[in-house]
Structure 1
Amino acid sequence: MLWRDRVLFSSLNDPVDVARAQAAMDAAWGKVRDSLKDNANVVQERSRLACIVLGLVGIAEDEVDLARRAVDRFFKMPPESDP
């Protein structure tokens, strides 16, 4: 987990939510990273994914569901549309 992700997830109060977010982020990033174009800004795309994960923590059933939802949203929404 990158320090940027830790800083973003530090806004979560529940340690269980933090752990779920970190696990989901790692799983989702593994799927997203391999599909990025060669000219993609990897740091920016990882930060975008982390913001998506953070926004979905409250509605996901578990870290697997959270990762799935985050990957789906990442690919459905262009970068400028993310919250």
Structure 2
Amino acid sequence: MPFSSLHDPSDLARAYAAMEAAWNQVVDMIPEALRQEERQRLAYIVAACAPLALDEDDLTQNALQQFRQRSRQAGALGT
């Protein structure tokens, strides 16, 4: 459970919203066979970034940056 470390309802809501926003930006670049795994990986990144984020937009952008950087390093998405 990626968001189990978030206990405040507003933090949890922000993380879920940022997760959906980030996912919507990358989903089309991910092969269908990898989508479930990559969605979960993104959720863990969002959860890790949540305590440091200024707001939902900042959280979304930070998570996307890390997701894309790690994807490039692994050669997974070619982004």
Instruction: Please classify the TM superposition score into its range, dividing by the shorter chain length.
Output: 0.7 to 0.9
Aligned length: 73
| TM-score, structure 2 as length reference | 0.81
User: 1:39 & 1:28 partners in 2: Cα distance?
Assistant: 17
1:1-83 aligned at under 5 Å gives the runs 7-36=1-30, 38=31, 40-78=33-71
Which structure 1 residue ranges, 5 or more long, are not aligned?
A: 1-6
- State the percentage of identical aligned residues: 45
TM-score normalised according to structure 1 size = 0.78
| Deviation per residue, 1:4-46 (Å, 9 max, x gap) | xxx432331111110110000000000110222x365110000
Task: Label 1:66 to 1:39 Cα distance change in 2 as closer, same or farther (>3 A).
Answer: same
RMSD: 1.8
Which is helix-richer, 1 or 2? 2
Q: Secondary structure at the match of 2:46?
A: helix
Superposed structure 1 runs of 4+ greater than 6 Å apart: none
- Aligned residue type for 1:49: L
